[in-house]
Amino acid sequence: MIDVRRQFALLLVLFLPAVAAAQEKPEELRWGTDPTGGAPYIFQKDGSPEYVGFEVEIAEYLAAKIGRQPVMVSGDWSNNPQQLEKSRDVEKGMDIILNGYELRKDMCEKYAVTRPYYIYRLALLARKDNQDLLGWTDLLPREGRKKKTVCVLGASVAEQYIKNTFPQGVDLSSNADVANVLKLVNDRRLDATVQDNPAATYFTEEYPDLQIAGELVNPGYYVIYYRKGDAALGKALDDAIASGVRDGTFERILRKYGLWNGDQERLHYWLEKAWPPFDVEAEKDKNAERINPWPRMMRELLRAALVTIKLSFASFPLAMLLGLLVALVRVYGPWWLAFPAGLYVEVIRGTPLLLQLFMVFYLLPTVVPGLGEVLTPFVAGVVGLAINYSAYEAENYRAGLQAIPRGQMEAALALGMTPSTAIRRVIVPQAVRIVIPPVTNDFIALFKDTSACSVILVTELTRKYNELFNFNRDYIVELAFITAGLYLLMSYPLALVARSLERRMGAGKGGHR
């Protein structure tokens, strides 16, 4: 018997390390974030692939505290909350979102929320030499003065704040990439941006010509959102936050990034109080009583749809003209012109529209000084779309030109026309008729591609949809269908016009044998 027990004990000793090893790998804490938000939240320092930042350190601290392995999951800032609606096991699945997400009533209705880990305020950033923008009151409308151009992070409290506080005096746009926006303010292409104080503090060091104009306003809380079903996780996180605040770890992390200030003392205060500081259920009821948001949302969507229409109708004629010129040069020009024209088509066709828009809006003005004045977001959008589609139109026209029988040119020359007159009066009018169907097709495609302009601060339909659903997450499905419906409503008549045009022009076809 003793032998048996000894053997059992031996077995136990042998197996224990294996059991322990299996337990050694703790569960993951998948935290959703958007690294494009940049310093000091989360960024790469001096070209190192490692991410650093105060939120990285807080995430690592919290994960360690609750015995989990932190795994950073990057996504688009304004879309990350959507990931909490899916299972954590999907690709890019998240347990929590932690990236300067502000405490918002509408968010609390959908997601569970932790206590705050930072208290921020909004800062107005402008150039030091901008005498017209020294504080918030300069954003108020004033007779005979142009609206201030202000860009903010899309779906942020800053966006909401500007919209509600300065509905008249500000030409507001939004963008996901804070670093780009700051550069535009620095280059005088935007008047100002509104950022949370951590970003503002960091960027005034990065750009010495920028300053925080006026005081910091509208304090708010950075919190972590998680699924409403994950109560145990939430409790563990709240406990971890409490110990981080109490044992001075948060203060140490925040001081390291120059973010500690008097406001942060309030973190202690909120550990003792009910959280969140409002009744989510009561707010929900209040919401239901609130005025119907649809008239306002429809107005905003329609206004954005108008921008989409303007973009399309301004850029496509340019694309057609440019495309025709390129095609003429390729078909009839001397080789030293035809060759670069062919290269142009291949390069433009072979690179993404999004990249071209970036180049036109962000890079071109740095290469050609003075261009920044002209290249407003709208103009840059028109130019980028026109260039992109000119390559496709050039190929359409080239096919059209080559489809004209040789006898047409000979007949025109035999009448004594110069080659250029023959091209203008005889060849091109016929080629244009031939290519109506593919060209119309491209126009409809361009119509939808205008949505890419949202990356260069143009508030067109897709951008507006994004903006609206971020603050009205209850209507996310309705808004998506309405936006899609608006696109269809605009592009379908185009298809009809094209078809009738084709029929009418078709009368001139034929006659070739």
Interface residues with another protein (CB under 8 A) are: 405, 407-408, 410-418, 421, 425-426, 429-430, 433, 507-513
Please give the biggest Cα pair distance in the chain.
Answer: 120
Look at residue 32 and give its three-state secondary structure.
Answer: strand
Q: Give dist(CA 313, CA 322) in Å, integer.
A: 15
Cα distance between residue 359 and residue 131, in whole Å? 30
Taking the least distance from each CB to another protein, the nearer of 302 and 415 is 415
Nearest approach in angstroms of CB 411 to another protein is 4
**Measured from the CB atom, is 352 or 506 closer to another protein?**
506
The tally of CA atoms less than 13 A away on the side-chain side of residue 403 is 16
Nearest to 323 by CA among 446, 477, 156: 446
Nearer to another protein by Cβ, of 300 and 502: the residue is 502
Least distance in angstroms from the C-beta of 432 to another protein: 9
Q: How far is the CB of 428 from another protein (least distance, A)?
A: 10
Q: How far apart are CA 220 and CA 17, in angstroms?
A: 48
Is 299 or 504 the residue whose CB approaches another protein more closely? 504
Q: How far is residue 479 from each of residues 77, 183, 297, measured CA to CA in Å?
A: 19, 32, 9
Closer by beta carbon to another protein, 124 or else 427: 427
CB nearer to another protein: give 355 or 413: 413
Q: Which is nearer to another protein, 146 or 512 (CB)?
A: 512
Q: How far is the CB of 512 from another protein (least distance, A)?
A: 6
Q: Smallest gap, in angstroms, from Cβ of residue 425 to another protein?
A: 5
- The SS3 of residue 41 is coil
Taking the complex as a whole, the smallest distance from the CB of residue 417 to another protein amounts, in Å, to: 5
CB 358 within 8 A of CB 177: no
Q: Cα(first)–Cα(last) distance of the chain, in Å? A: 108
Q: Closest Cα partner for 180 from 450, 377, 48, 381?
A: 377
CB of 408 to another protein, least distance (A): 6
Q: Of 59 and 404, which has the nearer Cβ to another protein?
A: 404
Contact 85, 44 (CB under 8 A): no
Report the C-alpha gap between 312 and 306 in whole angstroms: 10
In the complex, least distance from residue 513 CB atom to another protein, rounded to whole angstroms: 6
* Whether the Cβ atoms of residue 178 and residue 36 lie closer than 8 Å to each other: yes
Task: Tell me the three state secondary structure of residue 52.
Answer: strand
CA angle, corner 76, sides to 71 and 78, nearest 5?
Answer: 115
Q: Specify the residue, 54 or 397, whose C-beta has the smaller distance to another protein.
A: 397
> Any residues with CB less than 8 A from the CB of 265 and at least 6 apart, and which?
none
To another protein, the closest distance from the beta carbon of 338 in angstroms equals 20
